[in-house]
Amino acid sequence: MLSISVDSVFVHKMWNDHEISKMIGHDVPFMMCSDQDGGIGKSYGIYDEDSGVETRGRFIIDPDGNVQAFEVLTPPVGRNVKETMRQIQAFQLVRASGGTEATPAGWRPGKQVLQPGPELVGNIWQVWKVEQAFD
């Protein structure tokens, strides 16, 4: 986990010391990176030139260094940490299966996975129900 904003590392320290550590009872457990000229944000396509800050861009990067997922929100809406965790678990399952398994909509650990193949084409309706996306 890496967090990153255009704030200096000094501001990160103040935020950790005076607010976040009081919220969680200890120091922020991950590195808080500083991208003061927005260069990193620009390379990820989430830097907002108009306000000079980075939008809420969240990237899941696999052990090979490839981007598996991203989500970008405007500043006033916070993220869903559980959804990020769910996606990581799904990508890890797919990776562990060597690409033989896929996680259908609404999947979370323990729920049904699918084995894509010729027999499954046109037959999802027999093995997977729409309700599973919502339960």
Partner 1 sequence: MAEEFKPGCQRPPIVKPAPAADVIETSVMKEASKPMIKVGKPAPDFTAPAFFKGKFVNVSLSEFKGKWVVLCFYPGDFTFV
Q: Of 24, 79, 83, 108, which one interacts with partner 1 (CB under 8 A)? A: 79
Least distance between partner 1 and beta carbon 122 (Å): 26
Assess 93 for contact with partner 1 (CB under 8 A): no
Of 92 and 104, nearer to partner 1 (C-beta) is 92
Radius of gyration, CA atoms only, the chain: 19
**How many residues line the site for partner 1 (CB under 8 A)?**
63
**Count of residues making up the chain:** 135
Assess 90 for contact with partner 1 (CB under 8 A): no
Of 53 and 114, nearer to partner 1 (C-beta) is 53
Q: Give, as one character, the DSSP assignment of residue 51.
A: T
What residues contact residue 75 under an 8 Å CB cut-off, 6+ apart?
53, 55, 56
Using the contact rule CB under 8 A, the part of the chain among 55-63, 98-106, 111-119, 123-131 near partner 1 is 55-63
Assess 51 for contact with partner 1 (CB under 8 A): yes
Contact 54, 61 (CB under 8 A): no
32 backbone φψ class: left, alpha, beta (φ>0; ψ -120 to 50): beta
Of 35 and 101, nearer to partner 1 (C-beta) is 35
Contact 93, 119 (CB under 8 A): no
Q: How far is CA 122 from the centre of its chain?
A: 31
Q: Give residues in contact with partner 1 (CB under 8 A).
A: 1-7, 9, 11-16, 19, 27-35, 39-46, 50-70, 74-79, 84, 88, 91-92
